[in-house]
Amino acid sequence: MINIATRIDPAIASAVSETITQLHGRHLIGNALVPAVAGATLEVLDPATGAVLGEAPAATTDDVARAVDAASAAFPGWAATPSRQRGKLLAEAARAIAAKSGALAAVLALETGKAIRTECRGEIATAIDIVTMYAGLASELKGETLPFDPQILTYTSREPLGVVAAILPWNVPLVLMMLKIAPALVAGNTVVVKASEEAPFATIEMARLMAELLPAGVLNVICGTGRDCGSALVEHPAVAKVTFTGSQAVGELIYQTAARKIIPVSLELGGKSPMIVYPDADMARVVAGAIAGMRFTRQGQSCTAASRIYVHNTLIDAFVAALRDAVAKLVIGDPLDEATDIGTVISQRQKAKIESYLALGERTAGAQVARCGELPRAGHLKDGLFLQPTIVTGLPEDSPLMREEIFGPVVCVQPWDDEDDVIARANDSDFGLAATVWTHDLRTALRAVQRLDAGYVQVNQNLTIQPNLSYGGFRKSGLGKEASLEAMLEHFTKKKTVVIDMR
Ligand code: NAD
């Protein structure tokens, strides 16, 4: 375990150290922290320093079986627990997380490289908000009575599916976990989470705090590689549903396995979201919205990132200049430092991938690649995976930088002058997750909203996922919705139709 006492408040440093030591090589199964059956572990690195942060367990099929067995054994009791009682327990779990949020935010910042002030505390607050919302929706697991025949009582009921597998990426692990486990648990399912092997500790610790209040086996978290742990979990015959956030390639594999097993899946696979700026837009708001939308403080590691910005010809030069100035003021530094706006990307692999896109941009005739801001100079950060926020202009529309999800701090800005053309360009993407429109003319805004083919469309703002607003993409951005009542009812229950002859 590395020494972080010089980087953060000593009391938090010692709580973090205790947490990571306690989690060393351990899954959460049946409310106990248990080592992997084969005893293997995976190194988890601190991307700001390159130091080894700790060891996560490396699951094999034996660990998967153990976790699914625990969840299967807990299912009948949990499904039979009144839904409002389940909701009450989850509301208590929300309070338990809040009580430990200081150390949890530091663990998250250390393993993901995301800045504690701009990202990690807010992520925990959102996770708490989501579980609190679902706890309050426990009474909404209602059926319907159906008009059929006065002598025949006909109704529907909502029933849990069984054991749900929730597979997570590293970018926003706590919010993405909560979007899956809170509706699944309130609806009466039991869960096995597969944590990201790159950022497992905050995930396991948050689940551990919750599981202390739940019957054993209701919530389990295992960790390992996608090949040995993730795929074995999806394949397990007792897994009745898979909910996944991550890459399109893995989403396709999971969908194929689910098709063979004939089980439902929810997939959240990323995006290349357009932001369309009209000539009447308010420049200061648009610049702030672009920084927020591009998730620069998360190094652009967001599926919703507004990574294609189309700015009207009349504004584009002023916009690019203002965006450069504003982005250059963001402080890149130690994720644990309160002064830091932007931390690191997650891994050397991701950094190399992002840099290969930038090199391609630099080789593209007519394109300009502007890297903004200062990289940190502090000695302990010399091996950190820092990147400057980067603005790319002058790209051809079919450039890979315009079409593929870079998942880094790289925004492409393009001009437009014809509305039909810009809407067509915005929609011409494999993805259809989100889009934003920037104008103060109501008719223009509504016309654009109607024509944009994306699952989450906003006008004059660029918010992240919000509890109670259904979130999910069109086309290759995925299948299904998250964050809402609809998500719980449609994706974590099955509907039974009951027909009773009363004669
Ligand atoms: P990934 O899809 O490889 O991994 C996500 C999760 O799936 C991890 O827990 C991983 O272990 C697991 N997994 C991998 N192979 C699996 C398999 N065959 N069966 C079951 N589970 C498996 O994503 P990544 O490596 O973390 O990131 C790669 C790319 O994915 C990123 O560059 C980005 O484009 C995209 N991504 C998207 C999101 C999003 O929010 N939509 C989040 C993270 C990553």
322 CB near ligand 1 (under 6 Å):
no
Do the beta carbons of residue 201 and residue 19 sit within 8 Å? yes
Do the beta carbons of residue 217 and residue 74 sit within 8 Å? yes
Ligand 1 centre and the CA of 362: distance in Å? 28
Q: Could you tell me the two tokens for 146?
A: 């159906």
Say which residue the tokens 């572990």 belong to. 41
Q: Which of 250, 353, 471 to mutate to test the pocket of ligand 1 (most atoms within 8 A of CB)?
A: 250
- Taking the alpha carbons at both ends of the chain, their separation in whole angstroms is 71
Clarify whether 123 is annotated catalytic.
Answer: no
The 3-state DSSP class for residue 179 equals helix
pLDDT of residue 1: 53
**Residues 6 or more apart from 329 whose CB is under 8 A from it?**
373
H or E stretch covering 264:
none
Q: What is the atom index within ligand 1 of the atom nearest the CA of 194?
A: 9
236 CB near ligand 1 (under 6 Å):
no
Q: Could you tell me the two tokens for 118?
A: 């701009």
**Residues 6 or more apart from 118 whose CB is under 8 A from it?**
297, 340, 341, 342
- Listed in sequence order, the DSSP H helices in 283-331 are 283-293, 316-328
Beta-ladder partners of 268: 245, 478
4 CB near ligand 1 (under 6 Å):
no
Tell which residue, 219, 372, 230, has the closest CA to residue 294.
372
pLDDT of residue 322: 98
Instruction: Give the integer Cα–Cα distance in Å for 193 and 177.
Output: 8
Residue 398 CA to chain centroid, in angstroms? 27
Q: How many helices (H) and strands (E) does the chain have?
A: 16, 21
309 CB near ligand 1 (under 6 Å):
no
Residue nearest to atom 11 of ligand 1 (CA): 226
Q: Which of 44, 63, 112, 167 to mutate to test the pocket of ligand 1 (most atoms within 8 A of CB)?
A: 167
What letter would DSSP give residue 298?
G
With DSSP H G I counted as helix, E B as strand and the rest as coil, what are the percentages for the chain, rounded to 5?
Answer: 40, 20, 35
Sign of CA dihedral 139, 147, 159, 245: negative
Q: What is the pLDDT along the chain (503 residues), one digit of tens a residue?
A: 567 888 999 999 999 999 999 999 999 999 999 999 999 999 999 999 999 999 999 999 999 999 999 999 999 999 999 999 999 999 999 999 999 999 999 999 999 999 999 999 999 999 999 999 999 999 999 999 999 999 999 999 999 999 999 999 999 999 999 999 999 999 999 999 999 999 999 999 999 999 999 999 999 999 999 999 999 999 999 999 999 999 999 999 999 999 999 999 999 999 999 999 999 999 999 999 999 999 999 999 999 999 999 999 999 999 999 999 999 999 999 999 999 999 999 999 999 999 999 999 999 999 999 999 999 998 899 999 999 999 999 999 999 999 999 999 999 999 999 999 999 999 999 999 999 999 999 999 999 999 999 999 999 999 999 999 999 999 999 999 999 999 999 999 999 999 999 99
The active-site residue, picked from 55, 268, 405, 482, is 268
Which domains does the chain possess? 10-269+478-496 (3.40.605.10), 274-466 (3.40.309.10)
pLDDT of residue 3: 74
Give buried/exposed letters for 267-284 (b at 16+ CB in 10 A, else e). bbbbbbbbbbbbeebeee
Instruction: Give the integer Cα–Cα distance in Å for 18 and 23.
Output: 9
167 CB near ligand 1 (under 6 Å):
yes
pLDDT of residue 153: 97
What order do you get walking across the sheet with 390-393 strand by strand?
Answer: 368-371, 390-393, 410-416, 308-312, 274-277, 434-438, 456-459
Angle at which helix 101-112 crosses helix 121-136, to 10 degrees, equals 120
Ligand 1 centre and the CA of 166: distance in Å? 12
Say which residue the tokens 């509706």 belong to. 183
Radius of gyration of the chain (CA): 23
In degrees and rounded to multiples of 5, residue 462 shows phi and psi of -145, 60
Instruction: Give the integer Cα–Cα distance in Å for 155 and 191.
Output: 28
In degrees and rounded to multiples of 5, residue 494 shows phi and psi of -120, 150
